[in-house]
Structure 1
């Protein structure tokens, strides 16, 4: 069986049972690596509004994808992260907690990738666009992909190799020239208005949230991380000088970090209470 994979739909989609389960696994199961009973996961997902049937289906599908393995103890079943599942969740945790909008130093250089796919090859064009966008690239004009993150060239090469497009591509590093406007190029390459609106929705939702009971804190922490883990896939993480003024991503980043620290201990304590030996 092939190893587990990260699905963009799971990362940026709505609060599906499988997506919420992934959040629980990364936030609470990964740090301890203790086996967890089906009943515990079902109960916590229920607190988050997931029905039991959907929760059990999410467990089965996540296991089928290679993230979890099950052990039967009498009539009960407990779940343990597989080694590939732990690795992917650890990579995801690093991406989530190391992410911060506008917090990147930049030397002014761009990585530019040139690659064209005929319009008749619509499926291949869609795959290329989806995967380069997911990797943080923007396209100011057809066949041209840009990013201020020079290290992303390795990601681009991997994508192009897998799509059998490397032989048709070119890449180079460059400073923006005298023609046109660098900011206008950024506006064509990325829809920062939409990303900024998503950040503002996050701020509006969580800035006044004040959970009090242990269950409320557990749910608040879960939903906080669940909503935040979408942003590394939505935000190209441009340097501050390329962002619009009063960028809501900066406010959202500060809010996430503050709330995550504020709720973490109480949420972990409540999780531990719900994970019996």
Structure 2
């Protein structure tokens, strides 16, 4: 599928824009599943001022999707209309501040934040080692793993709105729940300030190593996967419900429910996004039939179905 090229029109509205606009940009490399159709426009801003200029001049009717490391993302085969926004190195800085605080750009990998905290002797952020994404995604979904969540460490987040105006959101403004953020959907997070506590670098590093080993031994981390597929229902484990419904190893096309951890879907190399999403929906149907529980997707699914 090919979208109409609107890059020239957008560029004409934004004199002085320094970032790159690309029409019908491939997206398969953006997600861990390695599937998906083109983005009508891909934009990578040069820095925060460039992003503000872009947002202030982007027509309100043009959809905007922010994509980070793509670890919990499924891009459909028909592609993504509007603009896919990718934040690059200018948004990936991680700095240590006084009082056991870490400031991290939205494009900084969570593991980079965890390592910076460990090296500085800041405890409480080790769980970020178990989240295979970037700070922006963790902010947007209250990312969590191994006993910790973003809500436990967040002081404030900075974001730009669709008019390019900056906002500072305190923890309460994020309206966090389990894998949920109630902040306005149109906000583009640019950085966050996290609070830790004093700790010993060696002990923190040991915990992080334990998390790494636990992930490697229980999750299909070296495959084309999207992380946890479904949210855990209240008081239940999604993987146990999937397993009990007989879905471990279930396949559709090139997609399979992981035999190592059945809350993970795997692309064996030739799966389409439709294969993966269809398999997930079949798992949801079987779990509902077996246990009466309707599983909720944790993976964010975006874009259009192929014609």
* TM-score where L is the length of structure 2: 0.23
Asked which structure has the greater CA Rg, the reply is 1
Structure with the bigger percentage of helix: 1
Which of 1 and 2 has higher RCO (CA within 8 Å, sep 6+)?
A: 1
Structure with the bigger percentage of strand: 2
